[in-house]
Structure formats: C-alpha cells, structure tokens
A and B are shown apart, each in its own frame.
Chain A
Amino acid sequence: MEISKKCIVLYVLWLGINTLFFNDSLAVAADKENCLMCHKHRFNARIDENGRKRNYHVNENLYSHSVHRNISCRDCHTYITKIPHDPVTLKVNCANQCHIRPPFAQEKFSHRKIVDLYKNSVHGGKPEDSEILQKALPNCKFCHLNPLYSKISEKRVSYKETLARCNNCHPQSGVEMAYKHITHRLRKKTSRSSREIVQLCGKCHGDKNLMQKLNVSKKAMDAVESYNRSVHGKLVQLGSQKAANCINCHASSALHDINKADNPGSTISKDKIMNTCRQCHKNTDEMFVDIAVHPDITHAGNPIIKMISLSLGLGMYGSVLALVGLLLLETVGRRKDGARLVLKKGTTWYGKQKSVSGKKK
C-alpha cells in the first residue's frame, strides 16, 4: 500500500511538471489507430500508371498543429476498415459527421451546410453535366489544405490578456486553438492572400484550353485576363489586400455560393450587384455598377474604350521613347562637339570642344 501511494504521488508530480513545463510545446495529433506508423514517412509515395505521383505522407508536426488535429483519420477516411488497408478508391466526404462536438452544440460536427452550399453553386455540378465538366469541377481539397493555426496579433486587447480570462475555466491548449480559429476568420474572408486567390481561380478559369473544351462564353473565356487588366487586378498584382479579388465579388460571406450572373442568388446578379459593390464603394449607384469590372478593351463594339486605351498606350510609350530619343540626340550632339565619355577631373564628359579649339587656332 505504502509503495503504491508513493507511486501515485510521484506520478501526479510528474504529470504536474510535464504540464507546467512542456504543455505548450506538446501538440499530439489524434492518431489512436497509429496510421502515422506508415504515413509519417515522407517517401511513402508512388508513381501511378498515369504518371501521377501519389503522396501518402502526412507530416506529423504539421498535422498536430492543424485544425483537424483532434479528428482521428477514420472520421474522414471512413472506408478504411482494416490496417493495413486495401488500395483506396473512394474519396473523403467532407459532409461526414465527425466525432467532435463543438461548444454550445449537441450535434456532432459536420461541414454539411457548406457542402450543401457548394453543391448548389456553379462548382457543385449537376447530374446532366458533361463528363469533361464533371472532371473539371473543383472538389473541396482543390482549394482547401488542412489549415494550420496561425498566430494572430491583437491590436486593441492583448492576445494573452484575452486568453487569460478564458483559461480560468477552459483548458489552455484547446481554448488557444479555438481563439485563433475564430479570430482568424473574423479578420479575413479567406486564408489565402488576394493574389493567391486570383492564382487559384486562374488555374482553371485562366486555362484557355480547358475553357474552350467547356464551351464557355467569350466573356468567361477572358475572365482572368480582363480582371488582370482592371484596376482591381492591377492593385492585387501590386500586393494590395484591399482591392477586390474573385471571392470578394463572386461569393457572399459563405464563400462557397459562387454562381453565374443569371442566377438570382448570385452576388453579381442584377438585384445584388449593388450591395456587392457597396462592400467597398459606399456610394455605389446605378451608374457605378455599369463600370466594367472585367474591361474588354479588344471588343470591337467598344470603340471609345478602345480609342482611349490606344491613346493612353501611345502617350505612355511615346513619352518614354521620346525621352530616350532626346538623350540619344544630346549624346550625339556632345560627341560631335568633341566631348568623350571619360570620367576625369570630376567631369562626366571630357575633351576639347571642336568649336572652342577651332577658334583658338
């Protein structure tokens, strides 16, 4: 009895020391079934029959700092029934219920609401869609990675101060992750930067071959090109986070409800476009919404914009070329005067001027 009591005391002490000193650095992923035994290895991959590299590696460290760290592998990969498992042919369904119960809710967590929104969007696809279109539609993981918690700097209230209150009741590691998860989404519409969003959408919408196969309209065919030509596109290319990217205009705060303009639910439909512009341009009126966000300067039916664009181009190229031409003329003139391109006695040009030396003679 004596010995077992001592053992318990020692164990509790050890636990205390561990919690005090090591707790913040411990981030252990939910891998009760030890899937990482094989999947933690970075060369766990193969090249398939179509030449595609299949990478089965899951980085332990990254996974344990991701938002899915508490979800066991089989909550998503439900088709795995034994280890080692058969070659996987099924896909993960993000609308699955996992065994996590979010705070203030009795139901198990699921992405069903978002998945339903996505399914009803233009990217969700319909049974009557052609095979090529079904293949081209992006699934969840095309846009989403297993997101990592990122540090948020709180300007008004210090982040530690806020958390100190929460920690009075809630366990530190859990509440810290939840805080980061929520505040991150309060500040930004997407995790990716505007430039990354344009690049992501441009992977399909900027692929002219793919768009041609999908038989899209001319406007849709040039969507990325014309956006990049617009003031929004140029600002985003220069690194602006305020200028509108694709998501800002084409999706609501639900992000996945992207639809064509003729769909009444679309953020760019006739009825909703004014509200969409007003997210940034408070004084938007009916004339303002007529301004082309995807300007088509090559359009034959738009001669005024074409002329303005042409004259601005001529003005820009002309002024620079004229400036360089002037420099060249000046150089030729100086060379004719006898000046040489030599740095001597503090001068850029040195030599005898022909006219002066001629007079002396």
Chain B
Amino acid sequence: MPGVKKRLAHPLLSYLLGLFFMVLTLIVFCGVIHHLAFSSHGPKLLGSFVEKYEAQTKSKILDDSQKLLEMEKHNHFHNFPAEYPKLPENMQPVCFICHSDFPHSKNKRIRSLMNMHTQFFTCETCHIKKRSDFKIVYKWHNPQKENTKGPFFGTSYNPRTGRLLEGDDPIAKITPFFKSINSSQNSKELISVIQLQNTPFVKDYIKVSGKLSPEEREGIKNKFHQKIKPKGHNCMDCHAQNSILNFKQLGFSENRIKYLRTLEILGMLSQYEDFYLPELFPDSPVQTNNKETK
C-alpha cells in the first residue's frame, strides 16, 4: 500500500524470526572466526599470537604433572576408581597444602598402609602433641556439616556382601578435640585442634607465601608445626584392646570393633616380624613379646 512505512510495520512474528536467525548467524559467525583464527582444524591465523601468550604462562612442571595424572589411568588396571566425594581443597586442613592426602613416604614397607589411614583420620589424630591441662577426645568431624551423625564409612559391614558400608557421610574423619581436664564428664565444651585454612593467619600466609624469603617461610612452617609431633601413634595404640580410640562411642559395630582390635590387623602385626620394624615401634608390647619368645 502506498504511504505505509514497510520497514516500521513488522509484526511480532517477524521480530522473533529475525531474532532467531540473527542468533543463528552470530553463532555460525563466531564459529567461523574461531575456526579461522584459533582452531587446529582451520588455518589458525592467530596461532602464533596464542602460542606467544601460552609460552608466557607455560610451566614444564605443570605439563609434567598433568601428563602423570593422565597416565595414571593407564597404570592402574583395576578400573581406576571413580571420583569419591571429598572436601574441596580450600576446606581441607592446612596440612593438606604441603602434604596432600598421601604424606607418608619414608618407610617403604608401610608407607601406603599409613597413607590409607588418611581416609579415616585427620593428620592431628595421630600427630597432635599432648597437653597437660587437656585430655584428647576423638569425634567424627565434617567441616561441611556441623554435628554430623553418620553412619560413617568403615564403621560396619554389609551383612550380605561382607564389604564395608559406605554410610551417610563419606567425608567425615575421626578428629581430635581438646577437653579441659577440669571440665565435668558431661561437658560438651571441646576445642578443635585441627588447623583450618579459613583462619586469618593461614589466609594471610597463602596470600604472601610467594613473597617470603626462604628463612621467613621456614619460620612460618615451624609455627604451623608447633603443636604437631613428627612421629605419630604406634599401630598398637589403636589396634588393641585398650585402644586410645573408643570405637563404640565412635559408632563402630561390634564385629567391626572385634576386627580392628583383635583379628587380622593384630595378627598381621604380631605374626610377621618382617613387617614389624623395630625402629618404628620401639615400645610396643608385641615387640617385647617377640623378643621374649626368641
């Protein structure tokens, strides 16, 4: 019709169609630009710029560790386990930053068995220094869930398969707390002994660690280890009738307690002298017994 402004008289449908095709065109356009400029399948016109930028941030250490991580899938025949639930790295205790979940490496015989315990314990469970004015109480603790109730992984067996039950809280670990010796039996006042990453001191350290001199860093490291003893508990401190851990209170089932205290683990420690390294367990009753029988 003469006089009608065609360009101003589009119905809503044409707007929607226009929008659809515009978005489509833009996606294709972005794809083509990417293909043209960066993609290894295209002419890669900006490839040299990308390589120049990557060279600045490239690290051989990072490349190698990524390669190792990738290769681990090929080094483990028994179906490299799926990702298990775990705490985010920034919620892990401070020890994790340097020592990871696999801190033991010196003793060739038992290093991986000792590392196995990090599934159940925080580092402080074995390595916390005693204090005369406090006694140590062990509790399951999950930084993500206050007053977690469990049941927890490894506290009981599936009666049908005989496998350890996963439980409701796979993240919680047995954690030590200080309780004043003057407090009453029923007092619930506990002081956490684990060093978390959310304290101001740790946050500050993470912020400036790259700027510290080696001496300064060593000093801070000593501060972190002030309350930590280098040698942890002996196996027999826990895997014995008079265990320092109250398995029942920690929610372990009767047969699991029996297993942990008396059956195979104890048998393994006492029967295999080779396994039982004298310098590692100097004062344990089993070693004394072995010496006597000799």
Contacts and interface: CB of A to CB of B under 8 A. Distances in A.
A236 to B, nearest CB: 14
Interface string B20-39: 00100100110010001000
Interface in A206-250: 225, 228-229
Contact of A55 (B8, B11, B80, B119): B80
A46 B103 CA distance: 8
A142 B71 CA distance: 9
Interface residues on A, range: 35 or more
A86 B274 CA distance: 9
Given A47-B100, A313-B43, A41 B119 contact: yes
Given A38-B113, A146-B78, A346-B15, A45 B65 contact: no
A53 B68 contact: yes
A87 interface: yes
B77 interface: yes
Contact of B102 (A43, A83, A356): A43
A323 B74 contact: no
B52 interface: no
Given A44-B115, A45-B115, A141 B14 contact: no
B79 interface: yes
Contacts of B118: 43
A66 interface: yes
Interface string A248-261: 00000000000000
A317 B36 contact: yes
A179 interface: no
Contacts of B160: 22, 25-26
Nearest to B100: A47
Interface in A19-54: 22, 25-28, 34, 37-38, 40-48, 51-54
B104 A46 contact: yes
A349 interface: yes
A54 B111 CA distance: 11
Interface stretch (A57-65, A98-106, A107-115, A184-192): A57-65
A179 B40 CA distance: 44
Contacts of B40: 225
Interface stretch (B138-146, B161-169, B204-212, B223-231): B161-169
Contacts, number: 155
Contacts of B77: 92, 141, 144-146
A199 B74 CA distance: 13
Interface in A120-179: 138, 141-146, 148
Contact of A316 (B32, B68, B75): B32
A358 interface: no
Interface string B105-117: 1001111110111
Contacts of B65: 51
Nearest to A234: B41
B32 A321 contact: yes
A92 B74 CA distance: 14
B29 A57 contact: no
Interface string A318-345: 0011011001000000100101000100
Nearest to B70: A203
A62 B119 contact: no
A337 B64 CA distance: 60
Nearest to A61: B163
A146 B81 CA distance: 12
Nearest to B29: A324
Interface in B40-85: 40-43, 64-65, 68-72, 74-81, 84
B271 to A, nearest CB: 10
Contact of B79 (A43, A146, A337, A339): A146
B264 interface: yes
B264 A349 contact: no
Contacts of A138: 74
A351 B8 contact: yes
Contact of B268 (A41, A83, A343): A83
Contacts of B265: 37
A62 B81 CA distance: 9
A313 B39 CA distance: 14
Interface string A72-92: 000000000011101100001
B7 interface: yes
B173 to A, nearest CB: 11
Contacts of A203: 70, 74
A313 B40 CA distance: 14
Contacts of A86: 109
Given A37-B264, A84-B272, A43 B78 contact: no
Given A43-B102, A84-B109, A84-B268, A59 B115 contact: no
A173 B101 CA distance: 38
Given A25-B160, A83-B268, A346-B12, A38 B25 contact: no
A58 B15 contact: no
Contact of A347 (B15, B42, B70, B101): B15
Nearest to A348: B15
A66 B115 contact: no
Given A25-B160, A317-B36, A228 B41 contact: yes
A327 B161 contact: no
Contacts of B11: 346
Given A59-B78, A348-B10, A349-B8, 12 more contacts: A40-B164, A43-B119, A45-B115, A46-B105, A46-B112, A61-B163, A84-B272, A138-B74, A146-B77, A313-B43, A346-B15, A351-B8
Interface of A: 22, 25-28, 34, 37-38, 40-48, 51-63, 66, 82-84, 86-87, 92, 138, 141-146, 148, 203, 225, 228-229, 313, 316-317, 320-321, 323-324, 327, 334, 337, 339, 343, 346-351, 353, 356
19 contacts: A25-B161, A28-B162, A34-B264, A52-B68, A53-B69, A53-B72, A55-B75, A55-B80, A84-B113, A141-B75, A203-B70, A225-B40, A228-B41, A321-B32, A346-B12, A346-B15, A347-B15, A349-B7, A350-B8
